[in-house]
């Protein structure tokens, strides 16, 4: 006589109505139900531009990233455009001899950033060009504003930033991106642009920019490290402990005319990205800043994890948190991977 089969599993397992693992067993079904997808149009590539010709200077604190002279920038920008990267963000590396306490070179129409913008707009049509509107590359103190009497003065800085935005827009920047965190700068910039007939120029506000330890490699790259004893940037950048304050900053910048808003840094502030997106629904960007990038690189170089996999996972975290676009030094690398995967899926 055949012994009847007895299901030895616990009753609750025998009666499972839902088994989420069924949706994970094959790549095709994982792809079918994937909630968030990273595409090349999500990427913005930040670039460091220097004086000279034929210059490619590696940056010790940012492995895989280089300072580029304008001619070399054009080579890589054409590659970015061919890969589908929609925009670059230009950061000039200004020689110390051209810096002063007022950041005078920031409003020079023939300055390095403006020459780079003109070259990009002429040589790489269709590529969006984002200009950093802040004084830290131009000031001898390395601050984002005018340093006077032991402080970074707000209103005088805003006046200069408004002039700087107009000069940059006239040079060919499609987007001006105030990253200074001075009060009222977005409204002043919008008014100045409109008065100059530049109402089509977009404003990307670094609306929630925190006083972060993760900016170190960037400051080395552009030479904006502060001298010993200088006033702390925490007097104008946000306290990392605050989230509700970020919502207030974003609200003010949108009221003043910002078209897009940025949360910076990215990974330590995913909660802020989500709150900003949920509250305002405005185009929201995240910046995978230099320290985040360098940290991932260092971990991968030490054998702790796979660089491509960790990088990919970190960028997906931004999308999951609500970011519409991501500024990342790995934009070209990710764009190449996406292109390879798309080609493989078609074959």
Q: Give catalytic status of residue 264 as yes or no.
A: yes
**SS3 for 164?**
helix
Q: Give the bridge partners for 209, in sequence order.
A: 264
Neighbours of 344 (CB within 10 A): 8
Q: What span, in angstroms and rounded, lies between the C-alpha atoms of 40 and 42?
A: 5
Q: What span, in angstroms and rounded, lies between the C-alpha atoms of 180 and 209?
A: 8
Helices 154-171 + 185-195 axis angle, to 10: 40
User: DSSP assignment of 325-345, as one string?
Assistant: EEE-TTHHHHHHHHHHHHHHH
266: exposed, middle or buried (Cβ count in 10 Å: 0-12, 13-18, 19+) = buried
Question: What's 169's DSSP letter?
Answer: H
Q: Which residue has the tokens 């990427």?
A: 43
* Residue 324 near residue 285, CB atoms below 8 Å: yes
Catalytic residue chosen out of the listed positions 233, 264, 277, 319 = 264
Catalytic residue chosen out of the listed positions 209, 233, 277, 319 = 209
Q: What span, in angstroms and rounded, lies between the C-alpha atoms of 74 and 121?
A: 10
Q: What span, in angstroms and rounded, lies between the C-alpha atoms of 202 and 130?
A: 9
Q: Give catalytic status of residue 209 as yes or no.
A: yes
* Tokens linked to 127: 């590529």
Catalytic residues: 209, 264
């Amino acid at each position: 006589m055949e012994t009847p089969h007895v299901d030895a599993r616990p009753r609750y397992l025998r009666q499972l109505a839902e088994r989420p693992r069924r949706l994970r067993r094959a790549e095709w079904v994982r792809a079918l139900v994937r909630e968030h997808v990273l595409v090349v149009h999500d990427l913005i590539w930040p670039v460091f531009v220097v004086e000279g010709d034929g210059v490619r200077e590696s940056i010790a604190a940012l492995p895989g990233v280089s300072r580029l002279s304008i001619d070399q920038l054009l080579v890589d920008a054409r590659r970015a455009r061919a890969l589908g990267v929609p925009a670059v963000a230009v950061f000039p590396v200004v020689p110390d001899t051209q810096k002063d306490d007022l950041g005078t070179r920031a409003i020079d129409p023939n300055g390095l950033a403006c020459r780079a913008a003109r070259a990009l707009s002429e040589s790489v049509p269709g590529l969006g060009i984002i200009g950093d509107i802040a004084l830290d590359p131009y000031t001898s103190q390395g601050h984002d504003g005018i340093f006077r009497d032991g402080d970074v003065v707000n209103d005088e800085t805003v006046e200069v930033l408004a002039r700087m935005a107009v000069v940059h827009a006239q040079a060919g920047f499609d987007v001006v991106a105030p990253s200074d965190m001075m009060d009222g700068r977005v409204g002043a910039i919008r008014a100045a642009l409109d008065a100059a007939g530049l109402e089509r120029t977009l404003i990307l506000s670094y609306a929630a920019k925190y006083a972060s330890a993760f900016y170190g490699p960037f400051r080395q790259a552009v030479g904006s490290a502060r001298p010993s004893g200088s006033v702390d940037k925490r007097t104008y950048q946000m306290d990392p402990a605050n989230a509700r304050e970020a919502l207030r900053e974003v609200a003010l910048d949108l009221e003043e005319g910002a078209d897009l808003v940025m949360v910076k840094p990215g990974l330590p502030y995913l909660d802020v990205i989500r709150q900003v997106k949920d509250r305002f629904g405005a185009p929201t960007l995240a910046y995978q800043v230099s320290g985040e990038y360098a940290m991932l690189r260092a971990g991968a170089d030490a054998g702790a994890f796979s660089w491509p996999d960790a990088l990919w996972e970190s960028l997906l975290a931004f999308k999951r948190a609500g970011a519409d676009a991501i500024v990342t030094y790995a934009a070209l690398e990710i764009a190449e991977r996406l292109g390879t995967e798309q080609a493989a899926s078609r074959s």
